[in-house]
Amino acid sequence: MKKSSLIITTIASAAFILGGMEAKAAVSSTHTSENKINFTAGEDVVTPPVDPTNPDNPNVPNPVDPTDPTNPGTGQTGPLSIDYVSNIKFGEHKITGKDIAYKGKNANPFVQVTDLRGAGDGWNLSAKMTEFKSGNKVLRGATLAIKDGVVKAGSSSNISLAPTKSDILFDNTESKLVMNAVNKGGRGTWLTVWPGVNQANEAIQLHVMAGTPEANTEYTSSITWELEDAPK
């Protein structure tokens, strides 16, 4: 019992002495240094497309959309740019006597926008589609529905407020809102991805009315994407 008591007392005393020694230390001198960094808007910066399935992936697949292999991106320069838009493929189909909704072939079509202005003024992306045509032949009544998009940041560490996305129904030539970044939001790179099954994407559907298609005819439509420097 005495031995144990002695050990405990010795440790406690040592701790007291060390504590006392630390308490006697004093600051003899101070000085303040300064660190600076300056930023300007990303003028003339080209932001390449990122991997739509994993935007943080440093090894971006080439092509980024296998169903759209000849599409490298828009090449637009900043500070506010549309970087990439997938071209939607629907393939070849036999004519039927029914109204049919044809699913997109692209598994992960996407649109990518980058805001390098550094002001946080917000922005909006809209789109309008022409009729499906082949020369003077028109695929009358055809509509394109794009829904269930997923908004992703080009970097998972982006702390800016994410833009919102909208489901789209192209049923005429009017402009439709696709993405909207409010004031102080949407800084950096942002994507809306429409994920689905390869060769049969439920999120992208072209509705064709019975009695309208003509055989041996490829119909084409174009979508014009418009990026404005303010929110809707």
Query: Which residues fall within 8 angstroms of residue 20, CB to CB, at 6 or more apart?
Result: none
In a domain, 19, yes or no: no
Confidence of residue 23 (pLDDT cuts 50, 70, 90): low
In a domain, 65, yes or no: no
In a domain, 72, yes or no: no
Dump pLDDT digits (tens) for 127-178: 999 999 999 999 999 999 999 999 999 999 999 999 999 999 999 999 999 9
Q: In this predicted structure, what is the pLDDT of residue 6?
A: 38
In a domain, 100, yes or no: yes
pTM score, two decimals?
Answer: 0.86
Dump pLDDT digits (tens) for 62-119: 999 999 999 999 999 999 999 999 999 999 999 999 999 999 999 999 999 999 999 9
Asked if residues 150 and 195 have their Cβ atoms less than 8 Å apart, the reply is yes
Specify the CATH number for the domain of residue 117.
2.60.40
Confidence of residue 11 (pLDDT cuts 50, 70, 90): very low
In a domain, 49, yes or no: no
- 130 closest CA partner among 120, 138, 122, 118: 138
Q: List, in sequence order, the alpha helices (H) in 53-179.
A: none
In a domain, 169, yes or no: yes
In a domain, 207, yes or no: yes
What residue ranges in 42-109 does DSSP mark as E strands? 80-85, 100-104
CA angle 102, 108, 109 (to 5 degrees): 75
197: containing domain: 80-228
The rounded percent of the chain whose pLDDT value lies above 90 is 89
Q: In this predicted structure, what is the pLDDT of residue 104?
A: 98
Dump pLDDT digits (tens) for 31-70: 999 999 999 999 999 999 999 999 999 999 999 999 999 9
Provide the number of structural domains found in the chain: 1
Confidence of residue 21 (pLDDT cuts 50, 70, 90): low
Confidence of residue 12 (pLDDT cuts 50, 70, 90): very low
In a domain, 116, yes or no: yes
Q: In this predicted structure, what is the pLDDT of residue 22?
A: 57
